[in-house]
């Protein structure tokens, strides 16, 4: 008996105080042999999974109210690897279908109703999921990782069944091929977004849009340009359209779009964003001030103004400070940066019109990669990307473009053509509308064929219009203010009050904006310096 007692290990006092101490030491002791366990586990195969990302996604769904809308078409209940996560996601989807809020308490309540709260680990586990993530910023990317792992598991299951059945002597090989094909098709179909709609739903949507247009007295279905004759043809800049405005340097491309931008933002309250790759944001604002206050740009440049002109400037530009106009003058902007910024502006400020000045100054991506590439192909990829942005955000995108020197070498009136688009590639193909700006006095043409004076006039030539007719619109160009206006003031009155003229001008013309440069040339009077 005494001999047996000698072999009994004395109990430490700390063990009496803490019964868990011994177990913790066992755990710590086992941790020293962890590499051996890892080696053992590495000899086997685990199904493709992303349990940690599943926890992050579920936590984000309970933190962000609208997060589920972006992943519900990506994730299914069976996409999750852990059964507990499947039950939690099922409860979240049930709440979403019932239009109930999704948070910790509602999910716990729904799981309790389903009788699965204890199976998933209780309310403590649900609360712990929300501590794994701070926001739902990358939830769509995380959801796609979970979906990819789910697809891999399904493919493994299908291939395993295929191997087993193929070894069976009694298997009909043609039936096996048919079953395998069906299984693969089901996997593919269940994980591909369905972007198509039935004709019935599309017809209903189209008729409702027509009814909305019927109720509009002004005939505008898009973002107004503020030019009466042009808006009569286009009904405004249409959503998802890519509009290319092209001209030779000095014709007034920037003046035209700044005018249209001003009219849309101030007269109609539409949010407009312009990406100016050529001019700085301050220079662009000076254009706006010169046109709005009707003060010569040279006076603004020198700051030599009389007291009444200062009062005129302050009074007539007060609207500009409140206008929903957003200017970005990042040089060498890439299409990736543009897409990201455009999405942010559309979400945060609800912009209705996007302007790029101008297309040839953009880069397709990494400058190092594109430096030795084909420029025509790069421009073609940029134009396709711009059309994609217009469709994605459902807003009109206006991109300015330069014309080649072929216009200058041509005889006659030197009016531009579609073939004159520089590095055209697919520009004219991708664009829904192509417009040319043409000022006859730029080439010394001061009289028309009918003998009418052409000084101070400009033409907007619609050379391509996918959803309307081709036509030419006459506008007034005011060189000293570098802005455009309706040629005939009476046109505004005959067309209606829907295209208001600027009540802030003394000239009575519809307020519209400047072209690149405010310097006068010797040959053309008010003709600005080419930009």
Select which of 278, 337, 376, 428 is catalytic. Answer: 278
Residues 6+ apart with CB under 8 A from 439: 251, 252, 457, 458, 459, 477, 527
How many angstroms separate the most distant Cα atoms in the chain? 134
Helix (H) or strand (E) holding 271: strand 271-276
DSSP β-bridge partners for residue 472:
461
3-state secondary structure 477-517: EEHHHCEEEECCCHHHHHHCCCCCCCCCCCCCCCCCCCCCC
Closest CA to 369 of 336, 324, 411: 336
Q: Count CB neighbours of 129 within 10 A.
A: 24
Q: In what order do the strands lie in the sheet with 271-276?
A: 325-328, 271-276, 351-357, 397-402, 242-247, 433-438, 457-465, 472-478, 483-486
Told to judge if 278 belongs to the known catalytic residues of this protein, a careful annotator would answer yes
Residue from 192, 201, 372, 353 nearest 268 by CA = 353
CB 400 within 8 A of CB 246: yes
The bridge status of strand 483-486 relative to strand 472-478 is antiparallel
Active site residues: 278
């Amino acid at each position: 008996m005494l001999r047996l007692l000698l072999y009994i290990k004395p109990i430490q006092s700390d063990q009496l105080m803490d019964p868990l101490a011994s177990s913790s030491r066992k755990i710590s002791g086992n941790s020293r042999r962890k590499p051996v366990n890892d080696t053992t586990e590495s000899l086997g195969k685990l199904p493709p999974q992303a349990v940690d990302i599943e926890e992050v996604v579920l936590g984000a769904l309970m933190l962000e109210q609208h997060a589920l809308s972006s992943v519900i078409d990506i994730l299914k209940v069976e996409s999750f690897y852990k059964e507990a996560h499947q039950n939690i996601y099922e409860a979240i989807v049930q709440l979403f279908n019932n239009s109930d809020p999704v948070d910790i308490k509602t999910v716990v309540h729904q799981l309790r109703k389903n009788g699965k709260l204890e199976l998933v680990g209780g309310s403590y586990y649900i609360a712990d999921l929300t501590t794994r993530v701070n926001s739902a910023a990358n939830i769509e990317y995380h959801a796609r990782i979970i979906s990819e792992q789910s697809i891999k598991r399904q493919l493994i299951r299908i291939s395993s069944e295929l191997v087993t059945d193929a070894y069976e002597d009694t298997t009909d090989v043609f039936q096996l091929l048919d079953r395998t094909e069906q299984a693969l098709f089901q996997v593919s179909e269940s994980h591909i977004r369905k972007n198509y709609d039935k004709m019935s739903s599309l017809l209903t949507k189209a008729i409702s849009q027509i009814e909305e247009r019927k109720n509009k007295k002004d005939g505008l279905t898009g973002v107004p340009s503020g030019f009466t004759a042009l808006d009569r043809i286009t009904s405004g800049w249409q959503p998802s359209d890519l509009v290319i405005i092209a001209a030779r340097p000095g014709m007034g491309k920037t003046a035209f779009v700044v005018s249209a931008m001003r009219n849309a933002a101030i007269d109609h309250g539409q949010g407009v964003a312009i990406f100016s790759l050529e001019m700085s944001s301050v220079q662009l604002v000076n254009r706006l001030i010169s046109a709005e206050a009707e003060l010569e740009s040279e006076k603004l440049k020198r700051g030599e103004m009389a007291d009444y002109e200062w009062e005129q400037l302050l009074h007539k530009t007060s609207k500009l400070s409140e206008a929903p106009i957003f200017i970005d003058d990042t040089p060498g902007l890439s299409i990736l940066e543009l897409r990201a910024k455009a999405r942010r502006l559309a979400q945060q400020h609800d912009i209705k019109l996007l302007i790029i000045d101008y297309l040839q100054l953009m880069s397709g991506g990494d400058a190092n990669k594109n430096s030795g590439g084909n420029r025509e192909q790069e421009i073609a990829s940029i134009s396709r990307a711009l059309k994609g942005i217009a469709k994605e955000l459902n807003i009109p995108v206006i991109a300015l473009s330069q014309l080649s020197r072929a216009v200058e070498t041509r005889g006659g009136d030197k009016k531009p053509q579609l073939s004159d688009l520089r590095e055209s590639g697919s520009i004219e193909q991708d664009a829904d509308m192509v417009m040319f700006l043409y000022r006859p006095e730029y080439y010394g043409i001061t009289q028309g064929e009918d003998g009418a004076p052409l000084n101070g006039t400009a033409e907007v030539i619609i050379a391509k219009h996918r959803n309307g007719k081709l036509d030419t619109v006459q506008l007034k160009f005011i060189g000293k203010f570098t802005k455009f206006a309706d040629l005939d003031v009476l046109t505004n009155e005959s067309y209606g009050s829907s295209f208001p003229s600027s009540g802030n001008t003394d000239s009575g013309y519809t307020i519209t904006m400047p072209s690149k440069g405010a310097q006068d040339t010797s040959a053309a009077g008010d003709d600005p310096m080419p930009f």
